[in-house]
Structure 1
Amino acid sequence: MLILAKNLKHLREKVLKTTQHKLADKLLVTRASYEKYENNKVQPSIETLLRISKLYHISVDILLTVEISKYSLDELLKLPDNRILLPIIVDNTGENKIEIIPYKASMGYISGYADPGYIESLQYMSLPFLRNGKYRAFPAEGDSMPPFQDGTYLIGDYVESIADIKVDKTYLLVLQSGFVYKSIEQINKDSLTVRSKNSFYETYDIPFSDILEVWKFVKAITDEHDLIDLTDNGVKEMFWSLKEDMKRMEKRLLHKPDMPR
């Protein structure tokens, strides 16, 4: 745990460049408790450790076993075993479920995204064509996610490392202040330059320290349950075809004459 204590102090002073009090607020602990973490007098709880991991985008294993001051942040992000733990819902067959973040609850998710109890309390769904990966559905609210309007859910595929983000691809970013849906313009040393799908908005930088989670955009579902796929129209056409086939089958059954006894 001495390594963890050293890492916490180094990351706070050199990466976030903030005070113990401000960082303690982000981690939902008291300043006195956080001070004891850095002084190696008290070990943080699992929940707090997960929040620290998410905050810096550094895995728990790295935090506990590697003296981070000896490496650059970029080198750490590229390590193959630098993975951030993610609470997920799995059914009795082992299939990952797609958790649904409710509307008007973005701040609740930001406080509970690393809490297995909170994740287990969420409603969920399954889609047969989304099996390989970890997916989650986020609500589009206000004007932060053009062209999507209120009533749309954006499904994202979890990105484990900043190093896996690709320029010109679209992501849903979970920030300290809420959710945003943006395309990546540029990956900088300490930030992402992002742009909106609405050209009215100018590009801007988001510091890594403000990013809690990154989800690569996969699908969008409206209130009417229409499937919107901005990258593969074939999936949408498949669903419409199945829907029409079911209607035709229902009509045939309704007009089918009774069989002789």
Structure 2
Amino acid sequence: MYYKISTDNNIFIIFAVPNYNKFIMSLFSDNIRALRVKHKISQEKLAENLMITRGRYVKYEDGTSEAPYDILKKIALFFHTSIDLLLSVDIRKINIENLIKLEGNRLILPIQVDNFGENYIEIVSQKAKAGYLNGYADPEYIENLQKVSLPFLGPGKHRGFPVEGDSMPPHEDGCIIIGRYVESLGQVMDGKTYILITKNEGMVYKRLNKNKKNALILESDNSFYPNYEVKASDILEIWEYECNIGRSDKKQETTETGAMKDLLLELKREVREIKNNTSNT
């Protein structure tokens, strides 16, 4: 069993799969043929609903032609499923009726549970992190991740992600942030911390603010690192901070020590800005 989130942005990842023409097109053709037969609809009738000719549709079902995005979207809406499900999962092997449906035709596939019925939490280790951008929508990749169970977290889908660097103290290299899946940008709350999976920045853990339309401002708790912006269209997944798993028992710094460190970091940041401005002139 596996878990997978469908979003409108998944299409960009799916098209990056190696050997797309040989594998994805074949899987897509098999899927739309299986769905058409299951719904007992003819090729001609389906083509009519898609507002294309039967000859054009037959090429998609035979795998001799790639369906453009607008046709993919129409087919997904017609069968009440998601584009990435059509392209990446053999729907003949799963029970679509038992899938959990979200708004916008997004779906969650079944998830693994422990002996007490609690959802497992997949842990994206440091080793697995490099492949997450290409694997977050791949059932096999998700299924092979290490898993733990933390019943106290309550409802929701959770996943663990590794922390790198010192931009978000007190979290340190090696600790794991456990996040709860966020279905939409509207659920993001200003000032809270989140794991973001983005097409350009990869995996980041930051404090978020929605003070720009169709974009998020990412802030580090370490003032040495400047804020930056991520467009909503670049975001693949958002996971809200729930807890962290770490091994450090380092003593918390005193207020005076922390203030001195912040002053030093601010000085370093100003020096870096001066250097950048000098190099740009």
TM norm. shorter chain > 0.5:
yes
Report the equivalent of 1:166: 189
Report the equivalent of 2:103: 81
Report the equivalent of 2:164: 141
The answer on whether the counterparts of 1:84 and 1:160 sit within 8 Å (CA) in structure 2 is no
Q: Is 1:198–2:216 an aligned residue pair?
A: no
Report the equivalent of 1:188: 212
Counterparts of 1:8-157 in structure 2 under 5 Å? Answer: 23=12, 27-28=16-17, 41-42=59-60, 81-82=103-104, 84-86=106-108, 88-143=111-166, 145-157=168-180
Report the equivalent of 2:234: 210
Q: For residues 122 and 31 of structure 1, do their structure 2 counterparts lie closer, same or farther at Cα, with a shift above 3 Å needed?
A: closer
Superposition deviation, residue 116 in structure 1: 1.7
Report the equivalent of 1:175: 198
SS in 2 for 1:209: helix
Q: CA separation in 2, counterparts of 1:110 and 1:30?
A: 17
The answer on whether the counterparts of 1:167 and 1:185 sit within 8 Å (CA) in structure 2 is yes
Q: CA separation in 1, counterparts of 2:170 and 2:121?
A: 23
Superposition deviation, residue 94 in structure 1: 3.0
Q: Which has the higher contact order (CA 8 A, sep 6+)?
A: 2
Superposition deviation, residue 155 in structure 1: 0.5
Q: CA separation in 2, counterparts of 1:192 and 1:155?
A: 21
Q: CA separation in 1, counterparts of 2:165 and 2:78?
A: 37
> CA offsets, 1:118-156, max 9 Å, x none?
111111111231121111111102345444211110010
Superposition deviation, residue 31 in structure 1: 7.9
Q: For residues 196 and 148 of structure 1, do their structure 2 counterparts lie closer, same or farther at Cα, with a shift above 3 Å needed?
A: same
Q: CA separation in 2, counterparts of 1:61 and 1:165?
A: 27
The answer on whether the counterparts of 1:147 and 1:197 sit within 8 Å (CA) in structure 2 is no
The answer on whether the counterparts of 1:101 and 1:138 sit within 8 Å (CA) in structure 2 is yes
Q: For residues 201 and 219 of structure 1, do their structure 2 counterparts lie closer, same or farther at Cα, with a shift above 3 Å needed?
A: same
Q: Which amino acid aligns with 1:81?
A: E
Superposition deviation, residue 63 in structure 1: 8.9
Superposition deviation, residue 61 in structure 1: 6.3
SS in 2 for 1:129: helix
Q: CA separation in 2, counterparts of 1:24 and 1:126?
A: 29
SS in 2 for 1:105: helix
Off by >6 Å, runs of 4+ in structure 1: 30-37
Q: CA separation in 2, counterparts of 1:111 and 1:98?
A: 19
The answer on whether the counterparts of 1:89 and 1:99 sit within 8 Å (CA) in structure 2 is no
- Aligned pairs, number: 180
Q: For residues 155 and 61 of structure 1, do their structure 2 counterparts lie closer, same or farther at Cα, with a shift above 3 Å needed?
A: farther
Q: Which runs of 5+ in 2 are unaligned?
A: 1-7, 29-55, 64-68, 82-101, 251-281
Q: Which amino acid aligns with 1:183?
A: R
SS in 2 for 1:82: helix
Q: Which runs of 5+ in 1 are unaligned?
A: 1-10, 46-51, 53-57, 67-79, 227-261
TM-score (norm 2): 0.52
Percent of pairs with identical residues: 41
Superposition deviation, residue 207 in structure 1: 1.3
Q: CA separation in 2, counterparts of 1:86 and 1:181?
A: 24
